[in-house]
Amino acid sequence: FESLFLRIDPVIRQHVDIVSENQKYNKLVKLLEDIMDGSRILMFMDTKKGCDQITRQLRMDGWPALSIHGDKSQAKRHWVLSEFKARKSPIMTSMDVVARGLDVKDVKYVINYDFPGSLEDYVHRIGRTGRAGAKGTACTFFTAANARFAKELISILEEAGQKVSPDLAAMGRGVPPPPSGHGGF
């Protein structure tokens, strides 16, 4: 993973929150309540269905969110991206494939609602914030299902000078996460 470390800019603050799958949405709402100031927030999901479901729920709860993924028409993706760039919809949910080609300046927060399938994708995702020397924050929800990535994630965090929560450190040693799902933000 040595080559990955070099690409994580130290201006990106990384927070990893150990949660259970059913805690994610409530944790997301709490996080958005804490950070929402009109800045751009790019949120990553594993599936198109997940993008659409979470975006729909956020909108029903009054959050300005739109989703972008491969099942959307080119015109719809272009519209969503223009709304995001103009901050008319400062929250955008996406998947890795679509986001790889995105060049959006001034994304203040990246939220990994679903942890990616590889550490390389994690590095690519969080690299969407903190560009051109601007500060950025990456917030990651990490579940027991992601435990196989704990050791490498800890290495990435430590290499970038980031704090490792006791719960994540325990997962890196093979200890299951606490049932309450605390620790991170």
Backbone dihedral angles phi then psi of residue 66, each to the nearest 5 degrees: -135, 155
* 20: region left, alpha or beta (phi > 0 left; psi from -120 to 50 alpha): beta
Q: What is the mean pLDDT of residues 136-154?
A: 95
Give yes or no for residue 159 having a pLDDT over 90: no
CATH numeric code, 2-172: 3.40.50.300
Give yes or no for residue 112 having a pLDDT over 90: yes
* Position 104 confidence tier, pLDDT thresholds 50, 70, 90: confident
Joined tokens for residue 96: 């890795």
Range in 18-22, 82-86, 137-141, 177-181 the model is least confident about: 177-181
Q: What is the mean pLDDT of residues 95-102?
A: 72
Helix (H, G, I), strand (E, B) or coil at 76: helix
The pLDDT of residue 6: 42
pLDDT above 90 covers a percentage of the chain that reads 63
pLDDT tens profile 80-90: 999 999 999 99
